[in-house]
Amino acid sequence: MSSVVPLRRAAQPQARTARLALLGTGTVGSAFVARYGTLAAQGIALPGVSWICNSRTQLAGGDDLDAVLRQARAAAARRSGFPPWAEGESPRPGDIVVDATASETVADWHPEWLARGIHVVTANKLGTGGDLGRAQAIGDAGEAGGRYGDSATVGAGLPLLRSLRALVDGGDRIHSIEGVLSGSLAWLFAGYDGSRPFSACVREAQAAGYTEPDPRVDLSGEDVRRKLLILARTAGFALSTHEVEVESLVDAALAQAAPDAVDGLLDTLDAPLEARRAAAAVTGRRLCFVGRFDAQSGASVGLQALPPAHPLCAGGGTDNRVAIHSDRYRERPLVIQGPGAGADITAAALLDDVLRIARG
Protein backbone atom coordinates (compact mmCIF):
# COMPACT_ATOMS: atom_id res chain seq x y z
CA MET A 1 0.00 0.00 0.00
CA SER A 2 1.39 3.45 -0.89
CA SER A 3 1.84 5.93 1.95
CA VAL A 4 -0.72 8.70 2.42
CA VAL A 5 0.33 12.11 1.06
CA PRO A 6 0.50 14.75 3.84
CA LEU A 7 -2.09 17.53 3.65
CA ARG A 8 -0.56 20.83 2.56
CA ARG A 9 -0.45 23.15 5.60
CA ALA A 10 -0.57 26.92 5.69
CA ALA A 11 2.92 28.36 6.11
CA GLN A 12 3.78 28.85 9.80
CA PRO A 13 4.82 32.35 10.84
CA GLN A 14 8.59 32.64 11.21
CA ALA A 15 9.89 32.25 14.74
CA ARG A 16 13.41 33.54 14.43
CA THR A 17 13.40 37.07 15.81
CA ALA A 18 13.26 36.25 19.54
CA ARG A 19 16.42 35.08 21.29
CA LEU A 20 16.28 32.19 23.68
CA ALA A 21 18.04 31.61 27.03
CA LEU A 22 18.03 28.09 28.47
CA LEU A 23 18.43 27.89 32.27
CA GLY A 24 19.15 24.37 33.46
CA THR A 25 21.39 21.76 31.83
CA GLY A 26 20.20 18.70 33.79
CA THR A 27 17.84 15.97 32.59
CA VAL A 28 15.19 18.30 31.14
CA GLY A 29 17.63 20.96 29.87
CA SER A 30 19.59 18.28 28.00
CA ALA A 31 16.39 16.80 26.53
CA PHE A 32 15.42 20.33 25.46
CA VAL A 33 18.67 20.75 23.51
CA ALA A 34 18.16 17.33 21.88
CA ARG A 35 14.57 18.16 20.87
CA TYR A 36 15.65 21.59 19.61
CA GLY A 37 18.16 19.84 17.33
CA THR A 38 15.51 17.40 16.06
CA LEU A 39 13.05 20.20 15.21
CA ALA A 40 15.80 22.28 13.55
CA ALA A 41 16.75 19.25 11.43
CA GLN A 42 13.08 19.00 10.35
CA GLY A 43 13.38 22.56 9.00
CA ILE A 44 11.21 24.15 11.72
CA ALA A 45 12.22 27.79 12.24
CA LEU A 46 13.15 28.32 15.90
CA PRO A 47 14.44 31.27 17.88
CA GLY A 48 18.22 31.08 18.16
CA VAL A 49 19.62 29.85 21.48
CA SER A 50 21.73 32.79 22.70
CA TRP A 51 22.65 31.42 26.12
CA ILE A 52 22.86 28.11 27.92
CA CYS A 53 23.21 28.47 31.69
CA ASN A 54 23.20 26.49 34.89
CA SER A 55 24.05 27.46 38.45
CA ARG A 56 27.79 27.44 37.56
CA THR A 57 28.17 29.13 34.19
CA GLN A 58 26.56 31.07 31.36
CA LEU A 59 27.78 30.23 27.86
CA ALA A 60 26.90 31.78 24.49
CA GLY A 61 24.85 29.50 22.24
CA GLY A 62 26.06 28.79 18.73
CA ASP A 63 25.78 26.34 15.88
CA ASP A 64 26.91 23.37 17.95
CA LEU A 65 24.53 23.43 20.94
CA ASP A 66 25.47 19.90 21.98
CA ALA A 67 29.06 21.02 22.50
CA VAL A 68 27.96 24.11 24.47
CA LEU A 69 25.70 21.92 26.61
CA ARG A 70 28.56 19.51 27.33
CA GLN A 71 30.81 22.43 28.28
CA ALA A 72 28.16 23.90 30.60
CA ARG A 73 27.55 20.54 32.27
CA ALA A 74 31.29 20.15 32.88
CA ALA A 75 31.76 23.67 34.32
CA ALA A 76 33.43 24.02 37.69
CA ALA A 77 31.49 24.97 40.83
CA ARG A 78 31.09 28.70 41.37
CA ARG A 79 32.19 30.71 44.38
CA SER A 80 30.20 33.94 43.95
CA GLY A 81 26.68 34.05 45.41
CA PHE A 82 24.97 35.46 42.29
CA PRO A 83 23.81 33.09 39.56
CA PRO A 84 25.95 33.58 36.41
CA TRP A 85 22.98 34.60 34.23
CA ALA A 86 22.14 37.46 36.64
CA GLU A 87 25.60 38.96 36.07
CA GLY A 88 25.96 38.55 32.28
CA GLU A 89 24.10 40.15 29.37
CA SER A 90 20.35 40.29 30.09
CA PRO A 91 17.56 39.17 27.82
CA ARG A 92 15.58 42.02 26.26
CA PRO A 93 11.82 42.42 25.68
CA GLY A 94 10.57 39.78 23.24
CA ASP A 95 13.26 37.24 24.21
CA ILE A 96 12.28 33.90 25.75
CA VAL A 97 13.73 32.46 28.97
CA VAL A 98 13.27 28.69 29.33
CA ASP A 99 13.39 27.60 32.98
CA ALA A 100 14.47 23.95 33.19
CA THR A 101 15.55 24.22 36.84
CA ALA A 102 13.84 23.45 40.14
CA SER A 103 15.21 26.68 41.60
CA GLU A 104 13.37 29.12 43.90
CA THR A 105 15.81 31.84 42.80
CA VAL A 106 14.92 31.37 39.14
CA ALA A 107 11.18 31.17 39.96
CA ASP A 108 11.49 34.49 41.81
CA TRP A 109 12.63 36.05 38.54
CA HIS A 110 9.55 34.95 36.56
CA PRO A 111 7.41 38.02 37.46
CA GLU A 112 10.41 40.32 36.94
CA TRP A 113 11.08 39.00 33.43
CA LEU A 114 7.41 39.11 32.46
CA ALA A 115 7.11 42.70 33.69
CA ARG A 116 10.02 43.60 31.39
CA GLY A 117 8.24 42.04 28.40
CA ILE A 118 10.44 38.93 28.41
CA HIS A 119 8.54 35.68 27.86
CA VAL A 120 9.00 32.78 30.28
CA VAL A 121 8.54 29.10 29.39
CA THR A 122 8.92 26.80 32.37
CA ALA A 123 9.10 23.24 33.62
CA ASN A 124 9.77 24.66 37.08
CA LYS A 125 6.57 24.33 39.12
CA LEU A 126 7.68 26.78 41.80
CA GLY A 127 6.57 29.80 39.76
CA THR A 128 2.81 29.16 39.87
CA GLY A 129 2.75 26.07 42.13
CA GLY A 130 4.60 27.58 45.09
CA ASP A 131 3.96 30.74 47.07
CA LEU A 132 0.53 32.26 46.23
CA GLY A 133 1.92 35.81 46.18
CA ARG A 134 4.48 34.87 43.53
CA ALA A 135 1.82 33.06 41.46
CA GLN A 136 -0.37 36.16 41.60
CA ALA A 137 2.60 38.38 40.70
CA ILE A 138 3.21 36.18 37.64
CA GLY A 139 -0.44 36.55 36.60
CA ASP A 140 -0.32 40.34 37.10
CA ALA A 141 3.06 40.79 35.40
CA GLY A 142 1.94 38.76 32.40
CA GLU A 143 -0.51 41.53 31.59
CA ALA A 144 2.49 43.82 30.99
CA GLY A 145 3.54 41.99 27.85
CA GLY A 146 5.58 38.90 28.62
CA ARG A 147 3.78 35.61 27.99
CA TYR A 148 3.96 32.62 30.30
CA GLY A 149 4.31 29.08 28.91
CA ASP A 150 3.47 26.58 31.65
CA SER A 151 2.34 23.48 29.67
CA ALA A 152 5.30 21.48 31.01
CA THR A 153 4.50 22.10 34.68
CA VAL A 154 1.53 19.69 34.98
CA GLY A 155 1.08 16.51 32.97
CA ALA A 156 4.24 17.17 30.92
CA GLY A 157 2.30 18.89 28.16
CA LEU A 158 -0.98 16.93 28.33
CA PRO A 159 -3.83 19.31 27.40
CA LEU A 160 -4.76 19.97 31.04
CA LEU A 161 -4.06 23.64 31.69
CA ARG A 162 -5.22 24.75 28.27
CA SER A 163 -8.49 22.75 28.65
CA LEU A 164 -9.11 24.33 32.06
CA ARG A 165 -8.45 27.81 30.63
CA ALA A 166 -10.80 27.12 27.72
CA LEU A 167 -13.57 26.05 30.12
CA VAL A 168 -13.08 29.07 32.39
CA ASP A 169 -12.87 31.46 29.41
CA GLY A 170 -16.13 29.94 28.17
CA GLY A 171 -17.86 30.85 31.45
CA ASP A 172 -17.78 27.37 32.95
CA ARG A 173 -17.34 27.17 36.72
CA ILE A 174 -15.02 24.42 37.93
CA HIS A 175 -16.46 22.39 40.83
CA SER A 176 -13.66 19.92 41.42
CA ILE A 177 -10.45 18.56 39.94
CA GLU A 178 -9.03 15.23 41.01
CA GLY A 179 -6.20 13.31 39.54
CA VAL A 180 -3.22 11.06 39.56
CA LEU A 181 -0.83 13.92 38.91
CA SER A 182 2.56 12.33 39.43
CA GLY A 183 3.82 10.12 36.63
CA SER A 184 6.39 8.58 38.95
CA LEU A 185 3.82 7.72 41.67
CA ALA A 186 1.41 6.44 38.99
CA TRP A 187 4.15 4.14 37.71
CA LEU A 188 5.13 3.05 41.23
CA PHE A 189 1.61 2.12 42.37
CA ALA A 190 0.60 0.58 39.01
CA GLY A 191 3.50 -1.86 39.34
CA TYR A 192 3.56 -2.42 43.09
CA ASP A 193 1.91 -5.80 43.80
CA GLY A 194 3.76 -6.81 46.96
CA SER A 195 6.03 -9.29 45.16
CA ARG A 196 9.05 -7.10 45.95
CA PRO A 197 9.67 -4.25 48.38
CA PHE A 198 8.34 -0.79 47.51
CA SER A 199 11.87 0.62 47.95
CA ALA A 200 13.08 -1.60 45.08
CA CYS A 201 10.37 -0.09 42.85
CA VAL A 202 11.50 3.43 43.89
CA ARG A 203 15.10 2.65 42.93
CA GLU A 204 13.94 1.34 39.55
CA ALA A 205 11.86 4.51 38.98
CA GLN A 206 14.89 6.63 39.88
CA ALA A 207 17.09 4.72 37.43
CA ALA A 208 14.49 5.18 34.68
CA GLY A 209 14.45 8.96 35.34
CA TYR A 210 10.77 8.99 36.39
CA THR A 211 11.30 10.55 39.81
CA GLU A 212 12.40 14.08 40.64
CA PRO A 213 16.15 14.45 41.23
CA ASP A 214 15.38 13.87 44.95
CA PRO A 215 12.67 11.13 45.12
CA ARG A 216 11.38 12.58 48.41
CA VAL A 217 9.86 15.43 46.38
CA ASP A 218 7.55 12.80 44.82
CA LEU A 219 7.11 10.54 47.86
CA SER A 220 6.32 13.42 50.21
CA GLY A 221 3.40 14.50 48.01
CA GLU A 222 5.08 17.90 47.54
CA ASP A 223 5.27 17.56 43.76
CA VAL A 224 1.56 16.65 43.62
CA ARG A 225 0.70 19.56 45.92
CA ARG A 226 2.45 21.96 43.51
CA LYS A 227 0.62 20.50 40.51
CA LEU A 228 -2.74 20.63 42.31
CA LEU A 229 -2.07 24.28 43.23
CA ILE A 230 -1.30 25.09 39.58
CA LEU A 231 -4.53 23.39 38.44
CA ALA A 232 -6.71 25.05 41.10
CA ARG A 233 -5.20 28.49 40.46
CA THR A 234 -5.63 28.03 36.69
CA ALA A 235 -9.28 27.23 37.42
CA GLY A 236 -9.52 30.63 39.15
CA PHE A 237 -9.07 29.81 42.85
CA ALA A 238 -6.58 31.68 45.09
CA LEU A 239 -5.50 28.52 46.90
CA SER A 240 -2.56 28.85 49.31
CA THR A 241 0.09 26.18 49.81
CA HIS A 242 -0.94 25.55 53.44
CA GLU A 243 -4.59 25.01 52.40
CA VAL A 244 -3.66 21.71 50.74
CA GLU A 245 -3.69 18.85 53.24
CA VAL A 246 -0.84 16.53 52.32
CA GLU A 247 -0.33 12.91 53.41
CA SER A 248 3.39 12.21 52.99
CA LEU A 249 4.71 8.69 52.40
CA VAL A 250 8.03 9.76 53.92
CA ASP A 251 8.63 9.38 57.66
CA ALA A 252 10.48 11.99 59.74
CA ALA A 253 13.89 10.27 59.54
CA LEU A 254 13.78 10.03 55.74
CA ALA A 255 12.41 13.57 55.44
CA GLN A 256 15.31 14.99 57.46
CA ALA A 257 18.06 12.84 55.95
CA ALA A 258 20.95 14.41 54.03
CA PRO A 259 20.67 13.77 50.25
CA ASP A 260 23.42 11.11 50.28
CA ALA A 261 21.65 9.20 53.09
CA VAL A 262 18.28 8.94 51.29
CA ASP A 263 18.97 5.68 49.46
CA GLY A 264 19.94 3.91 52.67
CA LEU A 265 16.65 4.89 54.32
CA LEU A 266 14.28 4.00 51.46
CA ASP A 267 13.58 0.63 53.16
CA THR A 268 11.58 2.48 55.84
CA LEU A 269 8.84 2.84 53.21
CA ASP A 270 8.38 -0.91 52.81
CA ALA A 271 6.40 -2.13 55.85
CA PRO A 272 3.78 0.69 56.03
CA LEU A 273 3.10 0.58 52.29
CA GLU A 274 2.83 -3.20 52.20
CA ALA A 275 0.24 -2.97 55.02
CA ARG A 276 -1.75 -0.38 53.03
CA ARG A 277 -1.52 -2.44 49.82
CA ALA A 278 -2.59 -5.68 51.52
CA ALA A 279 -5.55 -3.98 53.27
CA ALA A 280 -6.73 -2.50 49.94
CA ALA A 281 -6.31 -5.83 48.14
CA VAL A 282 -8.71 -7.55 50.61
CA THR A 283 -11.59 -5.49 49.13
CA GLY A 284 -10.24 -5.74 45.56
CA ARG A 285 -8.98 -2.15 45.58
CA ARG A 286 -5.78 -0.59 44.29
CA LEU A 287 -3.62 2.12 45.77
CA CYS A 288 -3.48 5.41 43.86
CA PHE A 289 -1.79 8.64 44.94
CA VAL A 290 -4.45 11.28 44.33
CA GLY A 291 -4.60 15.08 44.44
CA ARG A 292 -8.10 16.48 44.91
CA PHE A 293 -9.42 20.03 44.84
CA ASP A 294 -13.06 20.76 45.58
CA ALA A 295 -14.33 24.35 45.44
CA GLN A 296 -16.60 23.61 48.45
CA SER A 297 -14.60 21.27 50.64
CA GLY A 298 -10.95 22.16 49.99
CA ALA A 299 -7.83 20.38 48.77
CA SER A 300 -5.94 17.26 49.75
CA VAL A 301 -3.16 15.02 48.51
CA GLY A 302 -2.60 11.41 49.58
CA LEU A 303 -2.90 7.69 49.06
CA GLN A 304 -6.36 6.28 48.31
CA ALA A 305 -7.61 2.73 47.82
CA LEU A 306 -9.83 2.82 44.72
CA PRO A 307 -11.88 0.15 42.92
CA PRO A 308 -10.25 -0.86 39.60
CA ALA A 309 -13.21 0.59 37.64
CA HIS A 310 -12.61 4.09 39.03
CA PRO A 311 -11.51 6.55 36.27
CA LEU A 312 -8.34 7.39 38.23
CA CYS A 313 -7.31 3.70 38.11
CA ALA A 314 -7.32 3.64 34.30
CA GLY A 315 -4.22 3.68 32.13
CA GLY A 316 -0.83 2.34 32.99
CA GLY A 317 2.85 3.23 33.05
CA THR A 318 3.43 6.87 33.94
CA ASP A 319 -0.06 7.94 32.82
CA ASN A 320 -1.55 10.99 34.51
CA ARG A 321 -5.34 10.90 34.86
CA VAL A 322 -7.35 13.99 35.69
CA ALA A 323 -11.13 14.23 36.15
CA ILE A 324 -12.72 17.70 35.97
CA HIS A 325 -16.25 18.40 37.20
CA SER A 326 -17.78 21.73 36.16
CA ASP A 327 -21.16 23.26 35.33
CA ARG A 328 -20.83 21.65 31.92
CA TYR A 329 -19.44 18.32 33.15
CA ARG A 330 -21.70 17.93 36.18
CA GLU A 331 -22.83 14.29 36.04
CA ARG A 332 -19.80 12.72 34.39
CA PRO A 333 -16.39 14.37 34.47
CA LEU A 334 -14.16 15.42 31.62
CA VAL A 335 -11.27 12.93 31.90
CA ILE A 336 -7.85 13.67 30.44
CA GLN A 337 -5.30 10.87 30.48
CA GLY A 338 -1.90 10.17 29.00
CA PRO A 339 1.81 9.82 29.72
CA GLY A 340 2.75 12.57 32.14
CA ALA A 341 6.39 12.05 33.12
CA GLY A 342 9.74 11.92 31.46
CA ALA A 343 12.28 14.38 30.18
CA ASP A 344 11.51 13.91 26.48
CA ILE A 345 7.80 14.77 26.65
CA THR A 346 8.57 17.58 29.10
CA ALA A 347 11.09 19.02 26.62
CA ALA A 348 8.53 18.67 23.81
CA ALA A 349 6.00 20.61 25.92
CA LEU A 350 8.59 23.36 26.53
CA LEU A 351 9.29 23.65 22.80
CA ASP A 352 5.56 23.69 21.99
CA ASP A 353 5.28 26.77 24.23
CA VAL A 354 8.42 28.36 22.76
CA LEU A 355 7.04 27.98 19.22
CA ARG A 356 3.57 29.21 20.20
CA ILE A 357 5.04 32.34 21.79
CA ALA A 358 7.67 32.97 19.10
CA ARG A 359 5.05 32.68 16.33
CA GLY A 360 2.88 35.18 18.19
Ligand X SMILES: NC(=O)c1ccc[n+]([C@@H]2O[C@H](COP(=O)([O-])OP(=O)(O)OC[C@H]3O[C@@H](n4cnc5c(N)ncnc54)[C@H](OP(=O)(O)O)[C@@H]3O)[C@@H](O)[C@H]2O)c1
Min CB(101)–ligand X separation in Å: 3
Quote the least distance from Cβ 97 to ligand X, whole Å.
10
Nearest residue (CB) to ligand X, 24 versus 326: 24
What residues have CB less than 8 Å from 121, skipping those under 6 apart?
Answer: 96, 97, 98, 99, 148, 149, 152, 350, 353, 354, 357
Instruction: Tell me the H-state helices in the chain.
Output: 27-41, 65-73, 84-87, 104-115, 126-129, 132-142, 161-169, 183-191, 198-207, 216-219, 222-234, 252-256, 262-265, 270-282, 343-358
Q: List residues near ligand X by CB under 6 A.
A: 23-29, 53-56, 83, 100-103, 105-106, 123-125, 156, 209, 212-213, 341-343, 346
Residues recorded for the chain = 360
What's the closest the beta carbon of residue 274 comes to ligand X, in angstroms? 27
Would you say 146 or 342 has its CB closer to ligand X? 342
Least separation in angstroms between CB 5 and ligand X: 36
Distance separating alpha carbons of residues 322 and 251, to the nearest angstrom: 28
Minimum CB distance to ligand X, residue 290 (Å): 19
| Smallest gap from residue 57 Cβ to ligand X (A) | 8
- Tally the C-alpha atoms within 13 A of residue 336's C-alpha that lie toward its C-beta: 19
Q: Which is nearer to ligand X, 267 or 344 (CB)?
A: 344
In angstroms, what is the minimal distance from the CB of 85 to ligand X? 6
User: How far apart are the C-alpha atoms of 123 and 116, rounded to whole Å?
Assistant: 21
Q: Which is nearer to ligand X, 157 or 280 (CB)?
A: 157
- In whole angstroms, how far apart are CA 126 and each of 130, 158, 164, 290? 5, 19, 20, 20
| Closer by beta carbon to ligand X, 172 or else 344 | 344
β-sheet bridge partners, residue 122: 99
Catalytic residue among 134, 227, 277, 321: 227
Q: In the bound complex, which residue of the shown chain has the CB atom lying closest to ligand X?
A: 26
* β-pair partners for 322: 179, 336
Which one, 100 or 167, has the nearer CB to ligand X? 100
- How far apart are the C-alpha atoms of 279 and 286, rounded to whole Å? 10
227 is catalytic: yes
Residue 55 or 241: the one with the smaller Cβ distance to ligand X is 55
DSSP 260-301: GGHHHHGGGGHHHHHHHHHHHHHTT-EEEEEEEEETTTEEEE
Beta bridge partner(s), residue 294: 176, 298
How far apart CA 112 and CA 119 sit, in angstroms, is 10
Catalytic residues: 227
